[in-house]
Amino acid sequence: MTALKLTDVCKTFGTTEVLKNISLEVEDGEFVVFVGPSGCGKSTLLRVIAGLEDATSGAVEIAGDRVNNVAPAKRGIAMVFQSYALYPHLNVRDNMALALKQANESNSTIDERVTEASRMLSLDDYLTRRPAELSGGQRQRVAIGRAVVRHPKLFLFDEPLSNLDAALRMNTRMEIASLHRSLETSMVYVTHDQTEAMTLADKIVVLRDGRVEQIGAPMELYNNPANKFVAGFLGAPSMNFINAAGAVELGIRPENLNLSESGQLQGQVIHVEKLGGDTNIVVTLTTGETVTCRLFGQHDHRVGEQVTLGFDMNRAYLFDASGERIEPS
């Protein structure tokens, strides 16, 4: 069954068109990530799915039912926001149970679901604590637990890790992935962080200026980007772009550049990032363009050093003047 189907969804605020004919499907049990730069429309699209914003036109279907005129509480969804939005006067157990109590669920059902969510999210030791006594990561797990207990048809996550530091983001990312495997429920996740998108998604939807640029599995998009925007957005460090003959632009991922005396590119090192397992060297080419070369392991290079970089054309990409990918002949 298709968990979510959007057909030609548009959203306009006054004269500003924010979403432009969005069509996509989320299959049952699939983890789909909406990714794109700030202002691309990804959070607005999530709010339209949730019913917090009305679509100007187009259809929103959840589990086969059109829900354009259905209230958010009746759509069978549960949403986790960037802010934890926990009730400070309630402990963890009561925060997770509140929506079930408001829905007049039985005490036995409430206890069963809270216990189940607490076990999944390793919250058993914190059930009697209030939010002020929890870390940021623990508060976000409570917010996720509050969604889990509702047994929704569809989970919606709106940048849930943005308020966490790097270590907590990684840990919580793993917990969300584990939760998805356990629940086997469809999830739609919004982020501007392409690392989150690549590591969590079964399918990525890349958005720009309110339009879908490309949809596909993470490595499919990484290896076969449809255009320059997708190629440059996915990957860290991002893809290098070099002007070539005939209004064609060459795209080379940093890991596909190497130091070689017989290489095609010459330039001067302007920055070195020693990351331990990897070394990134940033080079200004004699043509004036700047590229990043990612080297495995530890390397000693100095700012001002002259280097020659090489690459295999079979691992490069070509883009036309409009940014569209030129497929190899």
CA distances in angstroms from 274 to 19, 240, 256, 294, 298, listed in the order given: 41, 19, 18, 10, 7
- 262 pLDDT tier (thresholds 50, 70, 90): confident
Alpha-carbon span 108 to 161, nearest angstrom: 32
Residue 24: pLDDT over 80: yes
Residues 211 and 259 in one domain: no
- In this structure, which amino acid lies at residue 75? R
Kindly state the percentage of the chain with pLDDT values over 90. Answer: 80
List Cβ<8 Å contacts ≥24 apart for 122-128: 122/175, 123/92, 126/92, 127/91, 127/92, 127/93, 128/91, 128/92, 128/93
In the prediction, which pLDDT does 170 show?
Answer: 84
Per-residue model confidence as pLDDT tens digits over 161-190: 887 787 778 888 888 898 899 889 999 999
Residue 232 in any domain: the answer is: no
| Whether residues 219 and 297 fall in one domain | no
Give counts: helices (H), strands (E), the chain: 8, 19
Residue 263 predicted with pLDDT over 90: no
Strand order in the sheet with 186-191: 77-80, 154-158, 186-191, 31-35, 203-208, 211-216
- Residue 137 domain-assigned (yes or no): yes
Domain end, chosen from 223, 247, 263, is at 223
Q: Which of 5-9, 121-125, 247-251 has the highest mean pLDDT?
A: 5-9
Question: Would 191 be classed as within a structural domain?
Answer: yes
Residue from 201, 200, 187 nearest 78 by CA: 187
**Listed residue (9, 15, 13) closest to 60, CA to CA:** 9
What is the arithmetic mean of pLDDT over 236-240?
Answer: 94
The string of pLDDT tens digits covering residues 266-302 is 999 999 999 999 999 999 999 999 999 999 999 999 9
Q: What local confidence, expressed as pLDDT, does residue 322 receive?
A: 94
Query: pLDDT exceeding 70 applies to what percent of the chain?
Result: 100
Domain membership of residue 274 (yes or no) is: yes
pLDDT at 329: 67
Task: Write out the two tokens for 109.
Answer: 């059902």
Range of the domain at 301: 237-326
Which strands, in side-by-side order, build the sheet including 16-27?
16-27, 2-13, 57-62, 65-66
Look over the chain and give the mean of its residue pLDDT values, rounded to a whole number.
93
In this structure, the answer to whether residues 194 and 246 fall within a common structural domain is no
Report pTM.
Answer: 0.90
